[in-house]
Structure 1
Amino acid sequence: MKIVSAKPFTYRGGNKAVLLLHGFTGNTRDVKMLGRYLHERDYTCHSPLYRGHGLEPEELIHTNPENWWQDVLNGYHFLQDEGFKEIAVVGVSLGGVFSLKAGAELPVKAVVSMCAPVRGKNIDRLWKRVLDYAERYKKLEGKNEEQISTEINELKKTPMHSLREIQQMIDHMNEKLSLISSPTLVLQGGLDDYLYTESARVIYDNLKTKYKRLKWYEQSGHIITLDKEREKVYEDVYIFLNGLNW
């Protein structure tokens, strides 16, 4: 079966721009419905696809956080080149980390961080996530169990050396939270792993911006943009962005 690859997307709307960022081993589908929701309300939305994502896992393992951050920067500059002077950055999971990083290092209108970790997972858990992604991808390709097992065993012989870089980047983000001065909304699923629920509190407590808010979704897990309460997530992001002085 041929998999239709995820792609970057741009929804051109009004003069308020939003950069939408997906998660690790995810793709732009993580934030596509949110992008449509905001576009219907006159926002221009752009979402880059990080290198190696939405492709065969054999492609993913040869990329790294530096590549992905450059893709974020390229997305930010794309919106600038389109003429937008004020850009809000909204991300889920690793995209949430990148949205915080953007808030600390770039001039942004606002930050929305959803289910972002600021305490890095151990290497084994990160590697398991890659292998789980590999299994899902190969099932979608229509491969049988024996073939999938053979290919994953082969994949294990070429580990993803950048996993430690991911861990370090997440840990270092914790030190940069005090640099964020833009209005910031922190959203977190109540059913998410403890690492993320604890990170949400750490993010909120360490932000120095005067305009910050932490909101929970008790029936949602990790990718809250696709979970049971997604419509409420979209509405809350819109209300937050619309309350800014653009």
Structure 2
Amino acid sequence: MTDSELTTIGFDADDTLWQNEQFYRFTEREFAALLSDHGDHDTVTARLLEAERRNLGLYGFGIKGFTLSMIETAIEVTDNAVPAEVIGRILAIGRELLAHPVETLPGAAEVLSELSGRFKLVLVTKGDLFDQERKLAQSGLGELFQAVEIVSDKKPSTYESVFRRHGDGAARSMMVGNSLRSDVIPAIEAGAWGIYVPHDLTWSLEHAEAPLHAPRFREIARLAELPALLDALGHPS
């Protein structure tokens, strides 16, 4: 095995293997409607985004933190006068988010099935532990992974650790995902390949400039293109 031979591929979950952001967008619209007497949609959702940004270090990523940020925003925009029934509805729509059915993205199962016999596949996702475990179980994709890592954040050190534990180090690994900020850039900084698969909806806090000049950066339009990319890079097996 050469130093550059690819042995391990990490996959993001939300909006890479299954739909996720669209459910948040639906929830944001209902949340803004609940508070329409205190601001238009753009104003309310901008305040919500500010709260989410402030709270990431406290609550982390996921629906529970998002729900708490909605409650905080409701209190702020109403000057501490938010009715109890509005708080109750916010809690209810947070629970609905935690129970939404899993909708896998086109090509996800086929690509994972094709690659599972050729490479070590590792799911690397961040968010609420229970929610991510639920979605993985409902997706039917769990048996295709050799390992699953649900992490609090994705940094270069995260990928160094994950690919050392479950592979042959970052240099022989690849990370595939829809977030430049979380899936691609830190994986490249760790020494791995970073493959960007854009999604129509990506949370604004996950946006970043594409590392176009990084030798190990590639972009594909859809997940189904990954096997052909691997072949083109000289990693057929």
- TM-score norm. by structure 2 comes to 0.40
Rg larger for: 2
Greater helix percent: which structure? 2
Structure with greater contact order relative to length (CA < 8 Å, sep ≥ 6):
2
